[in-house]
Structure 1
């Protein structure tokens, strides 16, 4: 039975445009259980803007794509970007347009990370790839026209989890973390899981399966950053957490923001109403606003 609603349903918390897009995306998306089918469905969207330089490379043994909107400039922020996809799917190509938009709008050099995927490469493979690229980027920041003191780690969905974990593992090495609707607790026991676990594209069944494929101890803070000890949070850098109101992961992001604030971290939350998980960069007003706001935040990296 379909969970789709009428886009004009006054009881639907999604905007009419978001409901239409959500239902179209959900209709063509496989259920959990088959990595190959999910990967085949995760195709790139419309292309992003042209940039002065986009090149593929290998960093710390990991495939990366480097976006530079202004070669020859110096002292810019350097963003290490970790794509979403439940640690199972997606890669450099699926997130190419988002990375181009962020680089173009922020003026930062952006390094997109093609980390190893589960279930072939379970935890800690992706975690270790993320840290390896971060350390590579920081060491080579000046050669990329960037300030090594302005390195930011960023990611969406499972990539947001990896970004949060990388910041925990590299105290003093990053100037900021941008976390876009990240999964932060493998327990999946928040109220938003119950409220938005079906009918909003990203389902609780999918998320539970992604956690199973990824593996690791669900109590470990490098799996579930929300469970990190308080003393490990106090040294984290300025943080922006971008959330969708109609997302099963919403409450995990809010809970992490509260923990960071209690630890004295400069943490900002931007919660967008009427949209669902994955909205960043989608052809919705909130998606465009979130991407522009994230780019401005990156550009302001001190």
Structure 2
């Protein structure tokens, strides 16, 4: 890793701690929360609720608009935060969502999906799909968005949800997003790749043990399916997917599964950021690799969102 990335990874790992059978999840969630970054972009931010997947249920979302977001017919980006389906929140990814609305000019809708272990799979992906259904049906009248120009994005477990919601949309007849941005996505529950063996031993922040803990809580004993582990999707299903930008990190245990998934997609831009670790994109103010990757992904998203169906 680069010296700057090494210093950040070591600092994060020390604060993060180990995850295992005796982990106090409530305490770990408090430990991984973060105060607002004073350098975050100014944006108009609104918290609201939308219909959830079950009759009468509600789902919280946070809607971001930059000064460059059109008041009407704005393109939209549905964002799903990472955290292994167990940790993190709208607040932990607030700075990244502010940056995305500034860079793309899109209406960014960050989705507060239900977390495991209280709500194991398929709760998170059904919440993600409910958010897409709401956006395709109600975005124009409720938020001034253009339902013909919706992309999905997410980091880590959120990248998993972004990919999975595209698979669900194709299966269930919901209009597909125009694009998907998958940042170092979690895709494979088997944890058997070379990058998992090389980088999952504790020297690069995210570990194989972390991933076993996350998958264990998310699946809760159920077998993985394409909706929970998108690497299991058939080639036929993947041919239906919208154009994708897949971002991986050189020193990430998940790198190989992201690389393999990107290789199976029909229309894809695939970038591997050198010398950085899993989760590096959150550190775009500090790491040049994060700044470059985020800027490049934003240009790609802006181009995809500019075209109407």
Distance 1:72 1:251, change over 3 A: closer
Residue 300 of structure 1: SS of its match in structure 2? helix
1:241-290 superposed Cα distances (whole Å, 9 cap, x missing partner): 01111000000001001111xxxx21111100000000003010011112
Give the TM-score normalised by the residue count of structure 1.
0.91
Shift of the alpha carbon at 1:69? Answer: 1.4
Number of the residue aligned with 2:29? 39
Number of the residue aligned with 2:302? 299
Give the TM-score normalised by the residue count of structure 2.
0.89
2:136 is the counterpart of 1:138: yes
Number of the residue aligned with 1:65? 62
Q: Kindly indicate whether the alpha-carbon contact (under 8 Å) linking 1:186 and 1:218 is maintained by their aligned counterparts in 2.
A: no
The structure with the greater share of residues assigned to helix is: 2
- 1: CA distance, partners of 2:252 / 2:27: 23
- 1: CA distance, partners of 2:226 / 2:293: 27
Number of the residue aligned with 2:55? none
- 2: CA distance, partners of 1:72 / 1:252: 37
Q: Kindly indicate whether the alpha-carbon contact (under 8 Å) linking 1:281 and 1:288 is maintained by their aligned counterparts in 2.
A: no
In structure 2, stretches of 5+ residues that fail to align are 52-57
Shift of the alpha carbon at 1:95? Answer: 0.5
Residue 160 of structure 2: SS of its match in structure 1? helix
2:126 is the counterpart of 1:128: yes
Number of the residue aligned with 1:258? 263
Residue 281 of structure 2: SS of its match in structure 1? coil
Which of 231, 252, 257 is 1:226 aligned to?
A: 231
- 1: CA distance, partners of 2:70 / 2:261: 38
Shift of the alpha carbon at 1:18? Answer: 0.5
- 2: CA distance, partners of 1:174 / 1:235: 11
Which of 228, 245, 253 is 1:248 aligned to?
A: 253
Q: Kindly indicate whether the alpha-carbon contact (under 8 Å) linking 2:81 and 2:89 is maintained by their aligned counterparts in 1.
A: yes
Shift of the alpha carbon at 1:196? Answer: 0.3
Shift of the alpha carbon at 1:299? Answer: 1.2
Distance 1:288 1:72, change over 3 A: closer
- 2: CA distance, partners of 1:158 / 1:43: 16
- 2: CA distance, partners of 1:96 / 1:44: 10
Shift of the alpha carbon at 1:72? Answer: 5.0
Residue 280 of structure 2: SS of its match in structure 1? coil
Number of the residue aligned with 2:216? 212
Number of the residue aligned with 1:6? none
Residue 4 of structure 2: SS of its match in structure 1? helix
2:259 is the counterpart of 1:267: no
Number of the residue aligned with 1:168? 167
In structure 1, stretches of 5+ residues that fail to align are 1-13
Shift of the alpha carbon at 1:295? Answer: 1.7
Q: Kindly indicate whether the alpha-carbon contact (under 8 Å) linking 1:75 and 1:147 is maintained by their aligned counterparts in 2.
A: yes
Which of 26, 46, 50 is 2:42 aligned to?
A: 50
Q: Kindly indicate whether the alpha-carbon contact (under 8 Å) linking 1:44 and 1:95 is maintained by their aligned counterparts in 2.
A: no
Residue 97 of structure 1: SS of its match in structure 2? helix
- 1: CA distance, partners of 2:33 / 2:118: 20
2:243 is the counterpart of 1:238: yes
Residue 245 of structure 1: SS of its match in structure 2? strand
Count of residues paired in the alignment: 284
Q: Kindly indicate whether the alpha-carbon contact (under 8 Å) linking 1:108 and 1:298 is maintained by their aligned counterparts in 2.
A: no
Shift of the alpha carbon at 1:75? Answer: 3.2
Shift of the alpha carbon at 1:59? Answer: 1.4
Number of the residue aligned with 2:78? 80
Worse-superposed segment, 228-237 or 40-49: 40-49
Equivalent residues in 2 for 1:128-207, closer than 5 Å: 128-143=126-141, 144-171=143-170, 172-198=175-201, 199-207=203-211
Cα root mean square deviation, aligned: 1.4
